[in-house]
Amino acid sequence: MPRLLQTLLIVARPVRYLGGCRRRYGPVFQVRIVGKPPIVYASTADAAECVYGADKDAALRGAVREFFEPVVGARSLVCLDGEQWARHRRLLNPLLRSRVVAGFADDIAAIAAAEIDRWPTGKPIAWHRRMDAIVLEVSLTVIFGVREEGRRERLRGLLARLVSVSTAMMATPAPVHRAVIRSPVLRRLTWLPVSRAIALRRQVDDFLLAEIADRHSSPDPGAHDLLSQLVRGDAGPRLTEPEMLDELMGLMGAGHHTTATALTWAFGQLTRHQDVMARLREDLGRGREDYLDAVVMETLRVRTVVPTAMRKLARPAALGGYAVPEGWLVTPAIPLLHTDPERWPGSGAFRPERFRRDGDAGVSAPPEWMPFGGGLRMCIGQHLAILELKIVLREALTRVSLAGVGRMAERPRNRYSMLIPSRRARLIVTGRRKPGLCGRS
């Protein structure tokens, strides 16, 4: 099939196109799209583990670095390899463990409650924008720890513009990325998204360097945001200031759109499955959250946000019986793993119960469930993302009643390496609830 046609199909109908490739060619297949090396997709858990196994000695950052570097910086985990990557990962892991990020729960709940209380009643809301607003406020508090309103407003504006331009930047061809990054002359062309991203990132860095200086001169031992922890060196040897800035921006950049999109999908699924929403409210009313865990997991299965976990091969590797050349991209086809009818009976149905353990209140995930990727480079912010999903869902179901707009279900479409709702995701707040009242209405 011509490369351009493959590109159009994978943008317009990504899950359908990849599913058709699997049916025709088997669990490991190759796709060619404009502007990228050949991509080899793995659509079984065993083949996906082979992809992740390349992290040890064959995979490089080249699959994503050129797109993310202007926003997250060359010193972030997203863009590092080898011993530098391992050092940063060792320093950041302790700060992002599930029991540690649980300490952010009250802050996230307060942010979500304040935003939910501003939602209008009785008219359609552009839902993704509302989720974006919540996730941005969480970043301001949890990642950067900026609380003084004047400075918070300044950083909010900078980050909002940087997030906006980063989406346009992702549509820029890779050769343009490389040329702008290398050329001081091209960086002066502010109409180029990459140039705007570089300029905005410089302004964010200036702001955060001033914050770091303030925290050195007036330390607050009780501050538990990630910036304060890195400045104090809570996890061990300190990162340099440029490393610190890149890692913070990497956490913000990689987690912003993905978490907001996952929240958008979650509310869309709940409004289309009122029985699930009623049961979830009932469980929350009893002070239990195991069904909430299952709802989050099922949302991330049936509506995968990040469909790939690309690796670029630094040397040839074996995958599914094939020899894949150096320089090619390899990735699990995560939506296919999540909808395999042999592993997930009735895979198209939204059934959180499938994650419940028999005779136990807990939940469990099989190896085919991998919304955060896998291997050594599994998403470091997964625990924070899941915490945000759970708390925002809980606060919303506690405070408002919701309904969808339109009869047709939203289909996923590809937008800058994410699967987002195909139409404008809109919901309606149909009524207000007293906080804490989660029972049936």
Greatest mean pLDDT among 34-38, 215-219, 262-266 lies in: 262-266
Within 10 Å of residue 276's Cβ, how many Cβ atoms? 20
On whether the CB atoms of residues 281 and 287 are closer than 8 A, the answer is no
Tokens (6 digits) for 138 = 């969480």
pLDDT confidence tier of residue 436, bands split at 50, 70 and 90: low
pLDDT at residue 259 greater than cutoff 70: yes
Mean pLDDT of 258-268: 94
d(CA 382, CA 374): 11
439 band by pLDDT with thresholds 50, 70 and 90: very low
pLDDT of res. 53: 86
Mean pLDDT of the chain: 88
Is it the case that residue 440 has pLDDT exceeding 60?
Answer: no
Name the strand (E) or helix (H) holding 435.
Answer: none
For the residues 238-250, what does the mean pLDDT come to? Answer: 92
For the segment 228-246, the average pLDDT, to the nearest whole number, is: 88
Q: What is the pLDDT of residue 357?
A: 67
Residue type, 422: S
Which of 311, 262, 305 lies closest to 42 in space, CA to CA?
311
Q: What is the pLDDT of residue 41?
A: 96
Q: Kindly tell me if the per-residue pLDDT of 437 is higher than 70.
A: no
User: Which domains does the chain possess?
Assistant: 3-432 (1.10.630.10)
Task: Give me the pLDDT at residue 69, please.
Answer: 81
In degrees rounded to 5, what are phi and psi of residue 278?
-65, -45
Average pLDDT over residues 133-146: 96
Report which listed range, 29-33, 34-38, 54-58, 312-316, is most confident. Answer: 29-33
Neighbours of 174 (CB within 10 A): 11
What per-residue confidence (pLDDT) applies to 130?
A: 93
Interval 304-316 mean pLDDT? 91
The whole-number pLDDT of residue 417 equals 77
End-to-end CA distance of the chain: 53
State pLDDT tens for residues 321-370: 899 999 999 999 999 999 988 889 999 899 999 997 665 567 778 888 99
Distance from C-alpha of 433 to C-alpha of 441, rounded to nearest angstrom: 9
> How many C-beta atoms lie closer than 10 Å to residue 152's C-beta?
16
